[in-house]
Amino acid sequence: MNIKNFFNIDERLLNMDKAVLEGLKPQFDRIDEITEYNQLKVLSAFIKNGVSEAAMAGSTGYGYDDRGRETLEKVMADCMGAEDALMRHNFVSGTHTLTVALFGVLRPNDEVICLTGRPYDTITGVFGIDSVTDGSLADFGVKYSQVDLKPDGTPDIEEIKRVLKEKQPKMAYIQRSRGYSTRPSLRISDIKQLIDAVREVSANSIIMVDNCYGEFVEKQEPCDIGADLIAGSLIKNPGGGIAPTGGYIAGRADLIEKCAMRLTCPGVGKEVGATLGHSRELFMGLFSAPHVVGEAVKTAVYTAALFEKLGFAVTPSSNEIRGDIIQCVILGSAEGLIGFCQGMQSGAPVDSFVVPEPWEMPGYTDPVIMAAGAFTLGASIELSADGPLREPYAAWMQGGLNFHSAKAGVLLAAQKMLEKGAISF
């Protein structure tokens, strides 16, 4: 086995690796079929919009008449099944991108209702959920409410219909990914069910989907099935591990124009924004994204199967159909979580020599440990794992630029757990 030439992995883990791979052929064949479909979709969008070498040139100053930027955004719109898109390097994060979209379309006294329970931590301050933070939507008079998930972690469709019918909110907000929770991620079919519920009882509500971690995991995107607005980060799926920063918003043309007015300034919108030489990286990243996402999904499925075989609970399971690239592994002990993250870090191409330790991370109530040896800092499409040191001691893993190196990182995570006594045969 090739890995033995480079890494010291216990023979029992290597035998398990072989058995796991043999059993995953049907899942991997399905992933490859989705990858091919999405890769051809992206290629078709590049050809349709006449991407050229000239489009790769950067602009400076105001960025007026940047044909490359305009072409890139047309390509992205086609890839996402949308009328129009913003795709810019100057979105500083996924949360910033979502913030621009929310502030772009919501006005004082409007109400937004989250249909998927409490959103993940970084967006709560944007809504002003726990307190009216300075500059939050609540500070500007936008009202927030949510429909909690059912005990099994799925959306409560009947309650959603009841609340929407009563309130008729300006926006119905959907978080596709599980984020750092154990609730199921939403598949396109789940999002379609939510969209249909909104249209049935509150037809004028804008439907916005936080699409982070979900792009190219399935053949369709939320705009293909009726979402009005979606947004995500370019250092996750759609940047393909090449985009160094940035984000995108896609959807209805009138809403994209509103978002553009918030991104730049009223009256100017998307007509400005210097690309500063980043266009080539964004084009290349988008073109590579379907393949890279397929590799990340294979990594997640493999991790689930290996740790199921080792006796750990995982979510989703290895044979579940995926809605995003995130894999949760319930490790059951502090030693197991620490070992998992330290082993994964040791298999990273960057900073492999670093030994992660739990620390009091701002905004968290428990110490958090993180493994992330990435070419782009914070890139969730590159192999990483982290989790808080509290019950059930779960690691949330995502990414993998290519399956073969990511698989080595997963095996090294298991090896370190074995050395710490957190795995027994």
CA 298 – CA 173 distance, rounded (Å): 29
Q: Domain limits of the chain? A: 2-39+288-419, 57-276
Residue pair 229/251 in contact (Cβ under 8 Å)? The answer is yes
Q: What is the pTM of this model?
A: 0.96
| pLDDT single digits (tens) 41-57 | 999 999 999 999 999 99
CA 350 – CA 133 distance, rounded (Å): 37
* pLDDT number for residue 363: 61
pLDDT band at 274 (very low <50, low <70, confident <90, very high): very high
Q: Is the bond preceding 358 in cis, omega lying within 30 degrees of 0?
A: no
Cα four-point dihedral sign 153, 359, 247, 143 = positive
Coil/strand/helix, residue 298: helix
The chain-wide mean pLDDT, for the chain, equals 96
Q: Which residues pair with 359 in a beta bridge?
A: 368
- CA-based nearest residue to 68, from 40, 90, 46: 46
CA 137 – CA 102 distance, rounded (Å): 8
Cβ atoms < 10 Å from Cβ of 238: 33
Q: Which residues pair with 386 in a beta bridge?
A: 370, 396
- CA-based nearest residue to 415, from 21, 1, 3: 3
Residue pair 86/248 in contact (Cβ under 8 Å)? The answer is yes
Query: Maximum Cα–Cα distance for the chain, whole Å?
Result: 66
- Amino acid identity of residue 27, one-letter, is Q
Query: In sequence order, which residues have a C-beta less than 8 Å from that of residue 355 and are 6 or more positions away?
Result: 342, 345
Domain spanning 57-276: which CATH class is it, in words?
alpha beta
The CATH architecture of the domain made up of 2-39+288-419 is Alpha-Beta Complex (3.90)
Query: In sequence order, which residues have a C-beta less than 8 Å from that of residue 203 and are 6 or more positions away?
Result: none
- Amino acid identity of residue 401, one-letter, is L
Q: Is the pLDDT of residue 152 over 80?
A: yes
Q: Is the pLDDT of residue 146 over 90?
A: yes
CA 17 – CA 338 distance, rounded (Å): 22
* pLDDT number for residue 424: 87
Q: Is the pLDDT of residue 365 over 80?
A: no
Q: Is the pLDDT of residue 181 over 70?
A: yes
CA 414 – CA 425 distance, rounded (Å): 12
